[in-house]
Amino acid sequence: MKKILKISIFIFYFLFIGFSLIFHLESGELIAQNFLSFAFSMLKIVPVAFVLIGLFEVWVKRETIEKHLGDNSSWLGFLWAILLSGTTVGGLYVAFPIAAVLHKKGAKLSVIFTYLGASAICRIPMMIFESSFLGIKFTLVRLLVSLPLIIISSVIMGNILTKTNYAIARH
C-alpha cells in the first residue's frame, strides 16, 4: 500500500509539471525549473562524493578511526570531527554517508553527532563566503557560539543513546 502511494505521488507530481508546462501555469513552471536546477546540481556533486566516500571507506582503517574518533578518544576526537567537517563538500548530502562510514568503523556517537552538526556550519567555502559578506568578526562569533553548543548537545545525545542501547534500523 505504501509503495502504491509513493508511486502515485511521483506520477501525480510529473503529471502536474507536464500539465503546467503545456498550459503555462507559472507555479508549475517554477517548480519544474527548481526541480531541474536541483537535479543538475546534485548530479554534479553526488557521484564524485560517493566515489570519495567509497575510497574513504576502503583506505581508512578501522583501527585509525577507533583510535582518533572512537570510545577511547579524548577531546581531540571532537577536534578531528570538526576539521573533517570543514573539508566536506556537498553539505549534508555527503555528511550523512560519511557519518554512516564513521559509525561502521567504530567512531563514538558523540563524535559522529559533532561531525554532522559541524558539517552544517563549518564548511570552509561557506565560511569564506559568509565572512566576505558579513565580516570575519561575525563568522568568528558564530563559530565560537555554535561549536560549543554542538559539542555539548552531541555529548548529551551520544550518552543518552548509548545508555538506552540504541540500534540503527536496517531496511
C-alpha cell at 32: 519544474
25 and 76 inside one domain:
no
Q: Is residue 29 predicted with pLDDT exceeding 70?
A: yes
Together in a domain, 7 and 89: no
54 within some domain = no
> Domain count of the chain?
2
pLDDT reported for residue 123: 87
- Distance of alpha carbon 33 from alpha carbon 19, whole angstroms: 14
Whether 65 and 117 share a structural domain: yes
Residue written as grid cell 572512537: 70
At 121, the amino acid letter reads I
Q: 53 lies in a domain?
A: no
Please check the confidence at residue 12 and state whether its pLDDT lies above 80: yes
Host H or E run for residue 63: helix 62-69
Q: Are residues 109 and 154 in the same domain?
A: yes
- Does residue 86 share a domain with residue 135? yes
Tell me the C-alpha distance between 162 and 153, whole Å.
14
Mean pLDDT of the residues in the chain: 90
- For 90, the domain range is 60-171
Whether residues 128 and 65 share a domain: the answer is yes
Read off the pTM. Answer: 0.78
